[in-house]
Amino acid sequence: MFCLAAAVCLCRGAGAAGPEVTPAQVEAMLASLHPDYALYISGVRYGATRLHPAALYAGLVRAGGRDPRMPEDGPRTGRGVRNELVIYADMFEPWRTPGWRLLVTDHEYFHARHLARGFDIPVAGFDQMKTDTDYREALAWAWVARREADNVYGPLSAAERAEVAARYREHYDGFLAFVNRRQPSAWAHYGRFLPDPDSLVRRAAAAPIAETPPPADGATR
Ligand SMILES: [Zn+2]
């Protein structure tokens, strides 16, 4: 499952009236971040519903796939494959910063390029869906956390920065626990791609913070 956010803001109130995102906007963000994005993402389109499903803001599907949550629609893996990015009109809450929108878009770019073996990072499978998810999500959150620290996206709000750190740490810890149970020596291999979360948080702390306050009526998690 290539979901962006497992924990979802359930406070619909003001959010329902906020600006909606379109495939063209997401394609423009992808192009601004990565002129090569079309090598890995063949198109961006809406999912079957206007509102994102619970626990999913956006996700990759194979060509013609409709629902990123369904295994039969899930993205393909292999050198040179191109998957499609499914988005939802309400995937960004109105209070999200422009930096967050770029970060989320870049997160999906990472997944697409990783699955197409466009990075020198293994596309490993562990025969456990949770572990596969932890591994791939940890990699993608590490990617955006590093780039956030380099101020690629512009300022995030304090809540958004904390969310990036929390999501990375969650998946890092999950994958590390799996490796330690199965074969601790394997961390010498996989750990090369997954920096210590504390070091990433310290790096990100030097990047600028947006003034945008988080929503008054609910938290992000
Ligand atoms: Zn993801």
Per-residue pLDDT of 23-49, as tens digits, reads 999 999 999 999 999 999 999 999 988
Q: Is residue 116 part of a domain?
A: yes
What separation in Å is there between the alpha carbon of 108 and the centre of ligand 1? 6
Q: Is residue 140 part of a domain?
A: yes
Which tens digit of pLDDT belongs to each residue from 174-192? 999 999 999 999 999 999 9
What separation in Å is there between the alpha carbon of 4 and the centre of ligand 1? 4
Domain extent for 143: 14-204
Strands 58-61 and 83-87: antiparallel
Q: What is residue 22's DSSP assignment?
A: -
Q: Is residue 144 part of a domain?
A: yes
What separation in Å is there between the alpha carbon of 141 and the centre of ligand 1? 7
pLDDT at 212: 67
- Mean of the pLDDT values across residues 59-79? 93
pLDDT at 142: 96
- Mean of the pLDDT values across residues 146-160? 94
Q: Is residue 198 part of a domain?
A: yes
Yes or no: say if 75 and 83 are a contact pair by the CB < 8 Å rule.
Answer: yes
Mean pLDDT of the chain: 87
pLDDT at 5: 44
Whole-model pTM?
A: 0.87
What separation in Å is there between the alpha carbon of 181 and the centre of ligand 1? 24
Give the total number of structural domains in the chain. Answer: 1
Residue 125 CB: number of other CB atoms within 10 A? 12
Q: Is residue 215 part of a domain?
A: no
pLDDT at 6: 38
Q: Is residue 155 part of a domain?
A: yes
DSSP reduced 3-state for 84 = strand
What separation in Å is there between the alpha carbon of 93 and the centre of ligand 1? 18
Q: What is residue 94's DSSP assignment?
A: T
What separation in Å is there between the alpha carbon of 39 and the centre of ligand 1? 19
Yes or no: say if 112 and 44 are a contact pair by the CB < 8 Å rule.
Answer: no
- CA–CA dist 197, 209 (Å, integer): 19
- CA–CA dist 156, 33 (Å, integer): 16
- CA–CA dist 80, 116 (Å, integer): 5
Helix (H) or strand (E) holding 61: strand 58-61
Q: Is residue 26 part of a domain?
A: yes
Q: Which of 101, 98, 95 is nearest to 217 (CA)?
A: 95
Q: Is residue 217 part of a domain?
A: no
